[in-house]
């Protein structure tokens, strides 16, 4: 290792004359070790050079070191979460003076709108640049897709980091913790399953469909919290939700039940990343179908509750309007004397005069 010398400026050397000062300079080996350690946290690991006709392409596979990278980006997600909360959501919620329950839901939807919008744009960019839209057969051809491009692996690591960071956030929530824990775990299971089973191409398109529907739903909630009479986005979300469920089921059956079933390597080889067996294909397809069915059941339940609340509100308004009309009519009662008038003389109801008759003396 060559010795490193440190030269001080001339104006500084006079200050240290006659004094023994030990200056420690970091060696090149120390810098290399520090850089390698930092790269484990920042960059995806397990890169492999794949030779092609144009040269070499760097691809990635997964391993245990991905957990370290995910941990680093969990802290990044926490920081971004706090930035969005402090500089955007808190300022907006103060203007509308929301109640405690609405304030909590407003913050949840605001965070998810920012995340879903970013993920939608990013996911669409990855799908288009990798050519998954232009060549749908690439979703199942040449399975297993062990070697991932940098942007695909980095996208999955960031997705796992975000949903894992949402688990500690539940500690600060006081309401609807089971509901939030439920959908966080569902996202983690599906994203991790697609990543570990090498179904990343199919997982990208399914995530895009899911995030489009979720983005519209949380946007509709934000608009509803600011103006309760505006429910147009809920109607748009209802249409998009049903369409995305149909596309998700159709695409899953096409890729898993038909595409992978036609591949030659129908063996279970975990060391090679191959999970293309009939049992695993049916298991994955069953999980997807059950999840979509559960979401449709919740959607129908949500729509029925909305319609019930709408008709109850309309009925209450009609009853209130009828009560107000009756109250106005009763506030001005008609004053009427007993009997009736005939030729200017008040008559009793039996036709006789109400005046007392004078009795003739005998």
Residue 2 has pLDDT above 50, yes or no: no
Give me the pLDDT at residue 191, please: 96
Q: How far apart are the first and last CA of the chain?
A: 156
Flag whether 32 is in a domain.
Answer: no
Flag whether 305 is in a domain.
Answer: yes
The structural domain count of the chain equals 1
Lowest mean pLDDT among 15-29, 64-78, 302-316: 15-29
Give me the pLDDT at residue 75, please: 95
Residue 272 has pLDDT above 80, yes or no: yes
For the stretch 222-232, pLDDT in tens is 998 888 777 78
Flag whether 16 is in a domain.
Answer: no
CA pair distance 8, 18, nearest whole angstrom: 15
Cβ neighbours of residue 290 under 8 Å, at least 6 residues apart?
Answer: none
Flag whether 281 is in a domain.
Answer: yes
Q: What share of the chain is helix, strand, coil (3-state, %, to 5)?
A: 70, 5, 25
Contact by Cβ (8 Å): 233, 225: no
Flag whether 99 is in a domain.
Answer: yes
* Tokens of residue 119, six digits: 């993920």
For the stretch 148-200, pLDDT in tens is 999 999 999 999 999 999 998 888 776 778 889 999 999 999 999 999 999 99
Flag whether 135 is in a domain.
Answer: yes
Flag whether 359 is in a domain.
Answer: no
* C-alpha count within 13 angstroms, C-beta hemisphere, residue 162: 16
Flag whether 123 is in a domain.
Answer: yes
Cβ neighbours of residue 85 under 8 Å, at least 6 residues apart?
Answer: 107, 110, 111
Domain holding 111, by residue range, is 47-316
Confidence label for 313 from pLDDT (cuts 50, 70 and 90): confident
């Amino acid at each position: 290792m060559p010795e490193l010398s440190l030269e001080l400026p001339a104006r500084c050397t006079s200050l240290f004359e006659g004094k023994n000062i030990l200056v420690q300079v970091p060696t090149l080996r120390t810098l290399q070790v520090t850089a390698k350690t930092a790269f484990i946290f920042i960059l995806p690991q397990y890169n492999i050079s794949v030779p092609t006709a144009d040269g070499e392409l760097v691809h990635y596979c997964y391993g245990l070191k991905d957990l370290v990278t995910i941990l680093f980006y969990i802290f990044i997600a926490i920081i971004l979460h706090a930035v969005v909360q402090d500089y955007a959501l808190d300022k907006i919620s103060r203007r509308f003076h929301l109640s405690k329950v609405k304030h909590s839901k407003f913050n949840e939807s605001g965070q998810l709108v920012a995340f879903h919008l970013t993920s939608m744009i990013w996911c669409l960019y990855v799908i288009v640049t990798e050519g998954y839209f232009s060549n749908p057969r690439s979703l199942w051809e040449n399975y297993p897709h062990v070697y991932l491009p940098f942007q695909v692996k980095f996208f999955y690591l960031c997705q796992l980091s975000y949903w894992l960071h949402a688990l500690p956030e539940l500690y600060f929530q006081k309401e609807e913790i089971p509901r939030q824990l439920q959908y966080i775990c569902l996202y983690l299971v599906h994203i991790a399953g697609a990543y570990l089973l090498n179904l990343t191409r199919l997982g990208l398109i399914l995530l895009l469909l899911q995030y489009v529907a979720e983005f519209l739903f949380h946007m509709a909630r934000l608009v509803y919290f600011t103006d309760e009479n505006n429910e147009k986005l809920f109607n748009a979300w209802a249409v998009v939700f049903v369409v995305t469920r149909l596309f998700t089921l159709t695409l899953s059956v096409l890729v898993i039940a038909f595409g992978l079933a036609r591949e030659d390597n129908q063996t279970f080889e975990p060391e090679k990343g191959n999970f293309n067996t009939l049992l695993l294909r049916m298991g994955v397809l069953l999980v997807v179908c059950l999840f979509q069915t559960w979401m449709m059941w919740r959607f129908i339940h949500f729509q029925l509750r909305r319609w019930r609340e709408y008709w109850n509100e309309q009925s209450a308004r009609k009853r209130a309007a009828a009560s107000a009309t009756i109250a106005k009519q009763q506030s001005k009662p008609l004053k009427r004397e007993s009997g009736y008038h005939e030729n200017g003389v008040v008559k009793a109801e039996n036709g006789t005069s109400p005046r007392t008759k004078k009795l003739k003396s005998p």
